[in-house]
Amino acid sequence: MSNILAREHNVSEIIISEDKLKNRIQELGKQITNDYKNKKLLVIGVLKGCFVFMADLIREINLPCEIDFMYITSYNKNTISSGVINIVKDLSIDISGYDLLIIEDILDTGLTLETLCTLLQTRKPNSMKICTLLDKPSRRKSNIYADYVGFVIEDNFVIGYGLDYAEEYRNLPYIGIYNQNT
């Protein structure tokens, strides 16, 4: 995508192109396929930001799997997490006996995932791992880490490929740094 078009979408810099996203997701799919052979895989998407990544990722997992979603908020139309976790939509199935793979768009402070993992562990899954498209370790405030990471990024507010600012820009086919000065 041209820099002119990126500027029209309030993107100051494209940091992960469509091609890089596709290639890395194929690699993650192969790794997850190998790791979850002979397991009862339930892929749980943390909405809303994960939906593009999760859709592409599950098509790269060459195993039977079930999916479900949770909708958790912590940003409330800001560029910094409020730290207050709100579960808007819970899972629709009993997860006991499943091997969970939690899909997240971005692992930032880790507070959301820490709260989520603590909650899900009480529901007695066989195992639980985290797959995040983006990891921003410089912002970590909890002791949680992803088992599968698409890309490690610097401390910038990013949009595109499911990630938003105030519910906009999720449809961009790349990951870009949001230009907050427009």
Active site residues: 108
Place of tokens 């498209």: 133
> What does the alpha-carbon distance between residue 162 and residue 182 come to, in Å, rounded to a whole number?
21
- Reduced to 3 states, what is the DSSP secondary structure of residue 89? strand
The pairing of strands 175-178 and 11-16 is: antiparallel
In this structure, are strands 66-73 and 86-89 parallel, antiparallel, or unpaired? antiparallel
Cα 171 to Cα 135, 160, 163, distances in angstroms: 20, 6, 8
